[in-house]
Amino acid sequence: MCAFVLKGTFAHTPQIDGFQFLEDHFLVSDGEKIVGLFKNLPEQYKNLRLYDYTGKIIIPGMSDLHIHAPQYAFRGIGQNIEGSNWDSWFERYAFPDESRYMDLDYAGKAYERLANDLLKTPTTRLSMFATIHRPATELLMDILDKKGFGGYVGKVNMDRNSIEGLLESTEETLSETEKWINECSGKYGLIKPIITPRYIPSCTDEAMAGLSKLIEKYDLPVQSHLSEGLDEIEWVKSLKPEITCYGQGYDMYNMLGGKTKCIQAHCIFPTDEEFELISRRENLWVAHCADANLHSCGTSAPILKYIRAGVKVGLGSDSAGGSFINLFRVMWEAIIASKVHWAYTVRKNEPFVKKDFLSLANAFYLATKGGGSFFGNVGSFEAGYQCDAVVLDDSRLIDIIPRTTYERLERMISLSDDREIAAKFINGKKVL
Ligand code: FE
């Protein structure tokens, strides 16, 4: 752990409703956490190593709460399958591609490429789905740890409704998961295990009950998918006729943020009962995957309604249901999705109704402090937060007249790519 100082213009959202900009400031880190931000560098820090990013904008690292590592290989394709039924995407892309991760050589190449590409995005923390394959899941954890990332990786559980090569028996899915937990415990730095039943249609009641015991025995968080598709909700009803809403099917196994920290991705179509249940669960984070949701069902989760009910919300790229792993793209899509949702549910034909959709600051908060809270004090430059920082260089994008810091940041969120990522720090370590 080696203390250091960053110099530049800092932008963050300590609250959801607005940015705080600190022009030409110094951030002091103890090598892991943030000590403070100062307009003038106090005398006692003047001998520390200084990274001078004058003229650049520095933002907190972003947290991707929902990403399928094996699906990155087919990113950008499969979103326009013609004449398809609802299952075509799984049958043609997701399941055959995931079954390839039985092959460790293939897994190593694919995961290395993903980790390298992720380094050149604003993401510093993540919660990832791997596949059912234990060795490839450990390989992914190792690769992410070596690049310096923090967060969680899950060996996926599937003991029904899958294809040959991507299906385990109930006994096998539970024993492999426990073996994996024991093998990876404490081994991969900031990368830790998370229990990951794919979703209710993929897991029998016996598997869910067994996983619930592992959550308790090893004190692990859990992640899954909830209410992503109308057809999926009907399927869950037919598989579990005894439950009155989809979320209850997780809640009965402590997989909805009751006692244990949990991420549920999507949550697009909650019934009134499910919304009520979600809003009462204090250990639940909703991963809002706006880009993937627009593609899969042409709509958005009621994200402002969740936020106003006090539900914790972060963003998820949902690669490759979403096309981008860069959370700037996902933020942008979240804003567009929120505008479309508002236009069709609130505005309708009213020309002068008050605008009410996600602002740039709201979306930035979700990508940083909102999602970051799943990992602890992450996603803000407040004192005591983990030092995750991304340095942005907008020299390629500037125009002739000067712009405000807000405008420069807005333009980087809408137009930048890997070329604008000048440096990156995760937990006080320079990783790029
Ligand atoms: Fe997903």
Return the CATH number at 22.
Answer: 2.30.40.10
Angle at 335 between CA 330 and CA 338, to 5 degrees: 120
Rounded distance, CA 152 to CA 127, Å?
5
> Both 14 and 135 in a single domain?
no
How many whole angstroms from 327 Cα to the centroid of ligand 1? 15
Say yes or no: 324 and 298 in one domain: yes
Using alpha carbons, select from 415, 412, 367, 408 the residue that is nearest to residue 388: 367
What is the distance in A from the centroid of ligand 1 to the CA of 287?
A: 10
pLDDT in tens, 305-324: 999 999 999 999 999 999 99
From the CA of 177, how far away is ligand 1's center (Å)? 19
- Provide the pLDDT for residue 149: 98
Indicate yes or no: pTM above 0.85. Answer: yes
User: Which residue, of 330, 351, 375, is where some domain finishes?
Assistant: 375
CA 217–ligand 1 middle distance (angstroms): 26
What local confidence, expressed as pLDDT, does residue 84 receive?
78
Residues 180 and 311 in one domain: yes
Co-location of 50 and 118 in the same domain: no
For tokens 């042409």, what's the residue?
A: 298
On the question of a cis peptide bond just before residue 337, with omega within 30 degrees of 0, the verdict is no
State residue 1's pLDDT score: 78
Do residues 160 and 236 both lie within one domain? Answer: yes
pLDDT at position 404: 98
Q: Is the same domain home to 50 and 194?
A: no
Q: Tell me which residue range forms the domain holding 305.
A: 62-375
DSSP bridge pairs for 134: none
Residues 344 and 254 in one domain: yes
Same structural domain for residues 178 and 128? Answer: yes
Predicted local distance difference test score (pLDDT) of residue 85: 82
The CA 429 to ligand 1 mean position distance, Å, reads: 30
The Å distance, Cα 410 to ligand 1 centre, comes to 28
Residues 125 and 98 both lie in one domain: yes
pLDDT at residue 144, rounded to an integer? 98
Give the chain's domain count.
Answer: 2
What distance in angstroms lies between residue 157's CA and the mean position of ligand 1's atoms?
Answer: 13
Beta bridge partners of 322: 319
* Residue stretches of the chain with pLDDT short of 70: none
pLDDT at position 82: 85
Q: How far is the CA of 129 from the centre of ligand 1 (A)?
A: 8
Cα(266) to ligand 1 centroid in Å equals 8
> Domain boundary residue among 340, 356, 375?
375
Interatomic CA distance for residues 270 and 256, integer angstroms: 13
Length reported for the chain: 432
Using the mean position of ligand 1's atoms as its centre, give its distance from the Cα of residue 222 in Å: 14
Which residues are placed with Cβ below 5 angstroms of ligand 1, an ion?
Answer: 318
CA–centroid distance, residue 286 to ligand 1 (Å):
12
Q: Which residue in 268, 258, 250 sits closest to 208, CA to CA?
A: 250
Judge if 332 and 354 occupy the same domain: yes
Query: Rg of the Cα trace of the chain?
Result: 21
Residues 200 and 253 in one domain: yes
Q: Can you name the residues that pair with 28 across neighbouring β-strands?
A: 5, 36
Cα separation, 430 vs 58, whole angstroms: 14
Greatest pairwise CA separation for the chain in angstroms: 68
Helices 104-119 and 134-147, packing angle to 10 deg: 30
pLDDT value, residue 86:
78
Give the single-character DSSP code of 252: T
The torsion angles phi and psi of 427, rounded to 5 degrees, stand at 55, 35
Same domain, 360 and 414: no
